Structures are given as C-alpha cells and as structure tokens.
Chains A and B, each alone.
Chain A
C-alpha cells in the first residue's frame, strides 16, 4: 500500500524552550522537516484539539526541527502546552521559499514571523551580509536575538526595535526598515510578520528599487491547494506561496487589506 505524505505523522516533543511569557519553541526529530527551506511550512496536528499551519523553525541539533508558537487560539494554546514526551502530528513541508540573493540582505521580522528568517539565516551563503531587524512591542517579547548571533557569528548585525522603547531602537520595525533602506546598499529585503508591517516594508523596498519578498500567513485548512481558504487574489498562499515577490504583492488588492475568514468571507484587516 502506498503511504500518503499528507497524512499526519506523529512525532515526540524532545524539548520545550520558553522564548517569552507567551511563546515557546518545541523541538522534535524529523529529517524531512529539518531540511525545510525558509518560507516553507508544516501542518501541525495537536491530537484531539486541532491542526494549524506553522513555519518550520530551525534547530541547532542535526536532524531536528521545531515549531515556535505563540498562545493565541485553541490549537496554538494546545501546541504551546504540549509537554516534553507529548505527541504532535506533522505533514509537509509545503510551499515555496525565499530566493536568497547575494550581497547585502535586510531581514525584517516581527514576533513568530522571525521563524522563516531564522531558517533563511541558517541556509544563507557565507558571504551574505545580513542585517536582521527584530520588531516587538516591548522588551519582554523579544526573542531569538542570541540564537541568531550564535547560529551566525559573522556577517550578521542584529537590531532590536520595540514600540515602547524598552529595548533597542524605539519605534516600529517598519520605520527602522525604511530608515535602513534610505541609507542604501541593500540587494534584497526579506520580511515575515504582521501583514500591515509587511505591506509597508514591501512598499518601502520597491520605492527604492530593492528586490523584496514576503512570507504570507492566511487561514489554512488543507495546506494542499484544495480548500481555498488561503486565497489572496487569484493565488493560494499554501501552494503558490508562502513567499511572494514584492512586484506581485504590490499589484494585490488583498495583501495588507483583506483575508478570508473561516467561512471564506473576505474580511478587512
């Protein structure tokens, strides 16, 4: 009998790390997900509770993958509360990935949107000069800074912004991105995080003629290009994305404006 890769495979949680009071990283062994490309996601099943799309977090242990989850709805809370030794189901990875250019890259992330950027850093060519802008509302919500520096000791500049100024640069990460882009010298911009932030980053990069890509999040039921929940204009985030070029996004009537609710109704941000 032919095993279908779209059936969840159960994995045992090997470690749980508190990143902030509401964010945890759960690590598990999975050779296939461990080699996910940045921007790809898995559908994560929390038995008896639900299933949700998660960007695949990089692990510092070979052959391991991880999910970094913020407490939000029932399923993310269920995943957050899964202890070491607990079982989760995974299928994937699905979707496309960032097109990593040479030269100097500006990475702009907020919250768990940093996950695909961490994987990008882990797979970037050695000579890529990376500036990572990490945005958070307040200092308690900043995470991954030390891990990024550990993963890449050279050619990585980590800059933290907090909306309330309790750590790093005071202000919104999109403002800092605009300032850095204004200084010039970047060959590419990669962003993942709240969609309104990404819309600004995309617009700022394009206005200066810099190549930009964003990894998009949408309501997803299947991850397979079947249910249509994640449609953005005529495209599906699960199979055409999650990564889209800025030139494509700039023409989108949905990006930064509207998403489909669970019923499929177009809903403004």
Chain B
C-alpha cells in the first residue's frame, strides 16, 4: 500500500504536499483542473487586485543563470470580481485565492467577492518585489501587515496564509505580525528583487528593470527562511523557492514546511512535476519508514 501523502497546513487539509505557486499559470479554471489532475494538492491563483491590471510591458519573464528565472509580470490579473465570476462557473475546482492590495479595505472588498466560490483558503501577497504600493512594500510595513491579516481573518472563516519575502524589514518581524494577527500559515518565500542587463546593448532586459528572481538560485535562501520560521515556532509553514525535485521538497519539509509550492519548475511545459515530486516523496517516506508527512516536518532541526 502506498504511503499517504496527505498533509495538514493548519486548518487546510491537502491530499498531497505539492501546491501550484501563485503567479504561475493561475488565470483559468480549466488549467487549474489540469494541474490538480497532475497531482497538486492545491492551486493558488495569480494575485488578484480590486481592479484589472495589465501588468508591465514585455519582456516580463526571462531565464536567469544557473537555472533561475527572472520576472516582472507586474501582477497582471483580471481583477477579483471578474475572477470570482469565472470561479462560480467551476464549483468543482477548489482554489486558494491570492490577494494583493495596499490596505485593509482592498482585501475586505475582494474577500466579499468570493462568497459563492469554491475557495479553500486565501493567501495574502505581502511580498511581490516589483510593484509599488503593494506586495513587499506592504510586507515591509509590519504594522500594516497586522491590520490587513486581522481584517481578512474577520472577513472570512477560510484559512488565511501570509506570503512573506525578503524586503527591507526583517522578514521575521512580518511573520510575527501576521501570526499575532491570526494568520493560519506562512508561505515563505516570494521571489527576490533582482535584475538583468544585456552586455551587448547595455540595456536592462526587463521592461520594469527590476523583477523577482526565482528557481534554483534562491532555493538555499528559501530553505534557510523556512528553517528560521520553524525555529521561531507557533505557525505552520508552506515552503516556496526553487523546488523542482522530490529531494528539494523533502529538504523543505525537513526544514519545517508542511507543504511546498512549485512555480518556476513548470517552465518548458513541465506540468508533470507535481506527480513526479509526489512519487519521489512517497518513495523517500517508504525508505525512511515515515508513515505520514507530519512525522517529517522539521526533522532537520531535531537532528
């Protein structure tokens, strides 16, 4: 009998520990259905705003050295209301809705849009590193983080996750503010602010100049953050940052993550990455004699 891959992230129950990270694909219920069919335990939407956003001009997504990816998509999304009307047509596809905004009223208004949708949780984007007035600029304002998380918790009975990143504040202060305001889990980490310059033309490549680095180059940093948040304790963690193999996923679980998100590894059409990672985690658990994911979470800190 195969090892069960189910895991709980606080109140969120997942059939497998691999999730589609926010920002990746994320605009179509048909695509969500496909990703869930590939074995993802949950899918997170693109970050939604109160109004539709077109995002930045291309180039918005390019490769980076050593298997990385650099993006400044600019949080393009059709807006929360439009997205909710799409979700209502597919009640059989459960999603975690990612929200981005500047203050409590933005988030409260958006949560109310999803009342009749199959939303199993909300992830608050407090960490996008390339759009002004939202994302990381909010995450760096620790007091504002507390107010936003508190407002969303009051607005919905669904689990609320705070996605943090590395900005100018100590990210652990952002974590503490979110935890104190009642967050059910922390997603760590977002992309890290970065850029690319073309030597031949002496031009920054991304139209926004600055973007977020993701993929393999940030994995050791993300792993360190998950470990640190686990050491702090008191909050379930979803690990994110450069996960592309089962070994990466296991490392994050051993660091303290109850689930992991996968994003850049889908590059080149690798939607099969979820089933591959799940299968590898299952084999690892059998070899090591683990009967549940929960028994592996944070083991590296206990060694």
Instruction: Report Cα–Cα, A215/B53, bound state, in Å.
Output: 28
Is chain B's binding surface mostly helix, strand, loop or mixed? loop
Q: Does B28 contact A (CB under 8 A)?
A: yes
Are A10 and B25 neighbours in the complex by a CB distance under 8 Å?
Answer: no
Q: Does B196 contact A (CB under 8 A)?
A: yes
Instruction: Name A184-231 residues within 8 Å CB distance of B.
Output: 221-229, 231
Which of B133-141, B169-177, B264-272 is found at the contact surface with chain A? B264-272
Q: Does B301 contact A (CB under 8 A)?
A: no
Q: Does A47 contact B (CB under 8 A)?
A: yes
Residue ID in chain A nearest B29 by CB atoms: A234
**Contacts A50-B207, A87-B200, A264-B27 known; A6 to B62 CB distance under 8 Å?**
yes
Are A221 and B203 neighbours in the complex by a CB distance under 8 Å?
Answer: no
Q: Does A66 contact B (CB under 8 A)?
A: no
Are A227 and B73 neighbours in the complex by a CB distance under 8 Å?
Answer: yes
Instruction: Report Cα–Cα, A3/B65, bound state, in Å.
Output: 5
Residue ID in chain A nearest B53 by CB atoms: A263
Are B269 and A4 neighbours in the complex by a CB distance under 8 Å?
Answer: no
Q: Does A142 contact B (CB under 8 A)?
A: no
**How many residues belonging to B are interface residues under a CB distance threshold of 8 Å?**
50
Q: How many A-B residue pairs have CB under 8 A?
A: 146
Instruction: Report Cα–Cα, A106/B76, bound state, in Å.
Output: 40
**Contacts A221-B73, A231-B28, A231-B30 known; A5 to B53 CB distance under 8 Å?**
no
**Contacts A4-B67, A221-B73, A226-B24 known; A262 to B54 CB distance under 8 Å?**
yes
Instruction: Name B181-205 residues within 8 Å CB distance of A.
Output: 196, 198, 200-201, 203, 205
Are A239 and B27 neighbours in the complex by a CB distance under 8 Å?
Answer: no
Chain A residues in 8 Å Cβ range of B24: 226-228
Are A47 and B53 neighbours in the complex by a CB distance under 8 Å?
Answer: no
Q: Does B68 contact A (CB under 8 A)?
A: yes
Q: Does A14 contact B (CB under 8 A)?
A: no
Instruction: Report Cα–Cα, A265/B60, bound state, in Å.
Output: 18
**Contacts A6-B267, A45-B205, A224-B268 known; A262 to B55 CB distance under 8 Å?**
yes
Residue ID in chain A nearest B70 by CB atoms: A7
Q: Which residues of B contact A (CB under 8 A)?
A: 24-28, 30-31, 33-34, 46, 52-55, 57-69, 71, 73, 76-79, 82, 86, 196, 198, 200-201, 203, 205, 207, 263-264, 266-271
